[in-house]
Amino acid sequence: MVISAVALYIIAFVLLMLPQLGNMKIPVALFGFVIGTTLILAIHTTGAAGARSASWLIAGAALLIASHTMLGIFKFYYTFPSAYLLIMITYGIAQFAIVNGSLQYLAAEKKKPA
């Protein structure tokens, strides 16, 4: 279900953007696949990682997609006020969340008996 929702979002976004992309169609489609996969993998860490680190990873991946969605819209489709600020804020928080979740996961793995 989750994979379907993420895939549907990425496909819909890429299809919306296709007429505007010119020679960037393949790179944007591949990048959409990569960031979609990032979110799917973050969601699947829920069982392997602690709930707390998984929450950070999921939030970070979702914000990464939000940041890049805004960036794609701004660059190829429609310019909007405060775009750079919104893009950088969501991107920065996404990076913080991914790093924080990763560090929490690694710390929990270190504590597990061998």
Query: What integer best gives the mean pLDDT of the chain?
Result: 90
The whole-number pLDDT of residue 114 equals: 67
Residues 6+ apart with CB under 8 A from 105: 45, 49, 50, 53, 54, 57
pLDDT tens digits for range 51-88: 788 899 999 999 999 999 999 999 888 888 899 999 99
The whole-number pLDDT of residue 10 equals: 92
pLDDT at 34 over 90: yes
pLDDT at 49 over 70: no
